[in-house]
Amino acid sequence: MGGSRYGRHAVVVGGSLAGMLAAHVLAGHADRVTVVERDRLPEGTASRPGVPQGRHPHVLLEGGQVALESLLPGFVAELRAAGAPRVGMPSDLVLRQSDRWFRRFPATTHIYTGSRAQLEELVRRRVLANPVISVVEGTDVVGLIGDASRVRGVLLRDRSGDDRGEQRAVEADLVVDASGSGTKAPQWLTGIGADAPHEETIDTGLAYASRIYRGKSGALDGGTAGFYVYPSPDQVHAGGALPLEDGSHLVIVSGLRGDEPPTDDAEFVAYTKKLPHPPLHSWLDEAEPLSPPFGNRRTANCRRRYDLPGRRPAGFLAVGDALCTFNPIYGQGMAVAAMNAVALRDALADPRRTPTTRRVQQALLAASRQAWDISAGADRKMPGAIGNAVDGGPADRVAGWYLQRVQDCYYGDPVVGRAFRAVLTLSAPVSALFAPAVARAVLFSPPPSTPTEPPATHEETEV
C-alpha cells in the first residue's frame, strides 16, 4: 500500500466476520484501519439487523477453526469456554441424505454450532482491542473515490445523524469490500470508470425458515446432539435441529422454489412433517418454541470474478460474501471468511512476490474455490436450478461419476467417510478423495450397508 501524509490508511467496508478479520490482518500493514459499518454494533451477543441470516443456523467447519486459530491464537478455546457446542461428525448427529441414514462412526471432525452472534462478538472483542483499528458505525459507503487505475478512498453517508444524506470523502490507500452478498461494489466501480466483475450464479430457489426450541429435558436423548437431513435431488426438503450455546436448539426446514417454508406458527410445525425424519418430529411434539419462525429466501451462489481481465483499479479488494456467496445450507460462509483472511495475510507477507492488487485478489479467490466447487457442484444437480453457471462443463461431468461413487460410499464406509468429511469441512483438499485407500473402496467395493432406521446411538469403532 502507498502512504499519505497521515500514514498508510486502509478502509474496510462492513464489520461482520469477514470485515473484522480483514481489518485484523491489515493492522499489521497500515498505520490506521477504519471499519465502516452500516449498523450500530451490538453490545454482547445480540444479532445485527444487517445480518438477516444471523437468526438461522451457523456452523464453524474445521477449516474455519484452523484459520481462526491461526489469525487469533487461542480463539477456539475461547469459543469453547463461551459454551459453543462442539459436535462430533458423524457420531453426535442423526444424519440422512438421499433416503439413507448415516452410520454413526466415531467422530473424525468437529463443528461448532453456536450462534453467529456469539462468534462475531468474540472476534470483534479480540480485533477491536488493537488501537490501530477504529469503527465508524451507522454509516453507509455510497461510492468510491478514484478512477479506473486506482481507488483512493470512499464516500460515506451517515444513516442517522443530522447530516443524513450528505456525503463526505475519506481517503484511503486500500479499500476492502466486506459488505456481504448485497454488495454495491460493482456499481461503485462503474461509477469511477472501472469494470464491474463478471458474476457466476447458481440459484436453486431454496428457501428456509428457522425457529428456536427447547427440549423437554433441555437436550436431546443420550449422546445425540442434533438431527439433520441434507437436501438432494431426490429429497428436496431438508432441515433439522442443531444445539445452541444456551442449551436450546435451532430448528431449520427448507424447500425449493414454489414450496417455501412458512413463517406462520402452526404452518411451520406442519411443514416439518415433510422431512423424512421421525426423530425430529417426535422431539418437536414435546419441545417448547422460544421464538417465532424467521424465513430467508436469498440462497443463490454468486462468485464475482475480480481475477479476470478488465479495468481493475489498484487499491481495491473484495473478501467474504462480497467476493463469493454460497448457498447457506452448506454452512461454509464463516469458514471461508476466516480462510480469506489467512489468504490475505499470507499474500501481503509473501517475501517472494510483490502483493499487487491483482495477485492478492487471485489468492483470495483461490481460498474460496473449494467451497464454491462443493456448493455449486451440489446445487447444479438440484431440480429447477437456474443461473449462468449451472452447466459446469465437461470436466465437471467427468468428475461427477467418481464423486457420485464417493457419496454412495460416504454414508457407511469409514475410510471414505473420513476423507469426504475432511473435504466438506474444508480441512483437506479435494485430492484426499483420490488417496489409494479411498479409491480402492470407491472403485472396487460395493456401497456398504447403512441403517434402515435412525441410529439411536453412536458406534464405538469404525470397523
**Helical (H) or strand (E) element with 26:** helix 17-26
Q: How far is CA 311 from CA 10, 143, 174, 188, 459, in A?
A: 21, 17, 17, 13, 56
Whether 166 maps to a domain, the answer reads yes
Q: Are residues 99 and 227 in the same domain?
A: yes
Average pLDDT estimate for 25-45:
91
User: Is 57 or 44 the better-scoring residue by pLDDT?
Assistant: 57
The predicted structure's pLDDT at residue 142: 96
Using one digit for the tens of pLDDT, what is the confidence trace for 393-452?
A: 776 777 788 999 999 999 999 999 999 999 999 999 999 999 999 999 999 999 999 999
Name the percent of the chain in helix, strand, coil, to the closest 5: 35, 25, 45
SS3 at position 272: helix
Q: Are residues 144 and 50 in the same domain?
A: yes
The 10 Å Cβ neighbour count of residue 450 is 16
pLDDT band at 51 (very low <50, low <70, confident <90, very high): low
- Which candidate, 141, 113, 104, 115, places its Cα nearest to that of 19? 141
Whether 26 maps to a domain, the answer reads yes
pLDDT band at 94 (very low <50, low <70, confident <90, very high): very high
The predicted structure's pLDDT at residue 206: 95
Whether 330 maps to a domain, the answer reads yes
Whether 417 maps to a domain, the answer reads yes
Whether 305 maps to a domain, the answer reads yes
pLDDT band at 159 (very low <50, low <70, confident <90, very high): confident
Q: Are residues 420 and 307 in the same domain?
A: no
Q: Are residues 107 and 208 in the same domain?
A: yes
The predicted structure's pLDDT at residue 266: 85
φ/ψ region of 57 (left if φ > 0, alpha if ψ in -120 to 50, else beta) reads beta
Distance from C-alpha of 89 to C-alpha of 438, rounded to nearest angstrom: 18
The predicted structure's pLDDT at residue 4: 45
The predicted structure's pLDDT at residue 230: 92
Q: Are residues 108 and 143 in the same domain?
A: no
Show the CA angle centred on residue 427, arms to residues 418 and 340, nearest 5°.
160
Q: State yes or no: pLDDT of 173 exceeds 60.
A: yes
- What does DSSP say about strands 174-177 and 316-318: parallel, antiparallel, or unpaired? parallel
Whether 232 maps to a domain, the answer reads yes
How many residues in total does the chain contain?
Answer: 463
Host domain of residue 423: 394-444
pLDDT band at 218 (very low <50, low <70, confident <90, very high): low
Provide the residue type at 214 as one letter: R
Average pLDDT estimate for 125-135:
97
| CB-CB contact of 343 with 371 (8 Å) | no
Whether 3 maps to a domain, the answer reads no
How many structural domains are present in the chain? 3
Whether 286 maps to a domain, the answer reads yes
The predicted model scores a pTM of 0.94
Q: Are residues 144 and 156 in the same domain?
A: yes
Boundary of a domain, candidates 244, 263, 296? 296
Q: Are residues 235 and 282 in the same domain?
A: yes
What's the chain's average pLDDT? 91
The predicted structure's pLDDT at residue 221: 63
Distance from C-alpha of 385 to C-alpha of 253, rounded to nearest angstrom: 19
